[in-house]
Structure 1
Amino acid sequence: MRITYAHGMRLLRSTDLALRVLMRLAVADATPTTRQVAADMDVPYTHAAKVVAELQRLGLIDARRGRGGGLTLTGRGRTASVGAVVRTFEGEGDVVDCEGTQGTPACPLRSACRLRGALRGAQEAFFASLDPVTIADIVVEPTGPLLLGISRRPEAV
């Protein structure tokens, strides 16, 4: 599923969640669990778990199970390029489907079309504009304190 932003920009829901998880962990005053992060972000646990697993595979977060476990941002995660994270979750695929899939015909212009290249260039410009921005950059005030304010605190037992 894609989320639409201003001017028709679209990101996969998993890309959006990955960025929000990284941002949340960048300002964490405790070690939240995947369940707590899912609740904070108001997303299904299963979706959060898939995103967390991918972020862990990428070395951007540490996830420890059991008592005293939880999620923490790694040094690599703190300095990760937003552009690199978006590229990873979005993939390097084309913006348009010129080849046709699932019963849709291939575009008859595909052998001589300039649109595909122009759209690919625009996509790369989008990624490139995010490359110098790090996770640490996007959680400075006022975002960081706001993230902490909206995070649910563990309930006292």
Structure 2
Amino acid sequence: MQLTQFTDLGLRVVMYLAAAAPDSSPSTKRVAEQLQLSYAHTTKVVARLSELGVVTTRRGRGGGLTITELGRGASVGWLTRQLEGDGEVVACEGDKPCPLREGCSLRGALRRAQESFYAALDSVTVADLTRAPTRTVLLDLTRPAV
């Protein structure tokens, strides 16, 4: 299974914020630059993370991004489900529906595989993702520029 770019960016942003010093509130622009992400995509991801209560955002001077306790303790499975949405692994319906859809067992098998994928991530928290050796790399990224 391949995650969408949106989910990938969301997980990176959350990991970055989880490793940042508690008194820092980096801007979306800084996070995008440090993670080498598109600012426009990062803005959309941050908006969704804020809707989920994983990140708080403050505008203006002294503003920035901060991870919440919910975000720090969130399971990666839950967060991935929220960012990925409820979409099917394969598109059996739509403009050109699959002619096999009436008697096919592939769709159900893929749905079960998707749930197993998420279930494997349920035991991992965002805090777990920011432990060594990843923490060292994250801390280098989150250090303020001198």
**TM-score by structure 1 length?**
0.87
Per the alignment, residue 135 of structure 1 pairs with 126
4+ runs deviating over 4 angstroms = none
Q: Which amino acid aligns with 1:10?
A: Q
Q: Match of 2:135, SS?
A: helix
Please give the alpha-carbon distance, in whole angstroms, between the structure 2 residues aligned to 1:71 and 1:106.
43
**TM-superposed deviation, 1:145:** 1.7
Q: Match of 2:57, SS?
A: strand
**TM-superposed deviation, 1:152:** 6.1
Please give the alpha-carbon distance, in whole angstroms, between the structure 2 residues aligned to 1:152 and 1:48.
19
Matched, 1:44 2:35: no
Structure 1 regions of 5+ residues with no counterpart? 1-8
**TM-score by structure 2 length?**
0.93
Residues 65-84 of structure 1: matches in 2 within 5 Å? 65-84=59-78
Please give the alpha-carbon distance, in whole angstroms, between the structure 2 residues aligned to 1:27 and 1:150.
9
Q: Could you tell me whether the CA contact under 8 Å between 2:20 and 2:142 is conserved in 1? A: no
Per the alignment, residue 5 of structure 1 pairs with none
Please give the alpha-carbon distance, in whole angstroms, between the structure 2 residues aligned to 1:15 and 1:132.
18
Per the alignment, residue 7 of structure 2 pairs with 15
Q: Could you tell me whether the CA contact under 8 Å between 1:40 and 1:152 is conserved in 2? A: no
Of structures 1 and 2, the one scoring higher in RCO (CA 8 A, sep 6+) is 2
Let me know the Cα RMSD of the aligned residues: 1.3
Structure 2 regions of 5+ residues with no counterpart? none
Q: Could you tell me whether the CA contact under 8 Å between 2:77 and 2:124 is conserved in 1? A: yes
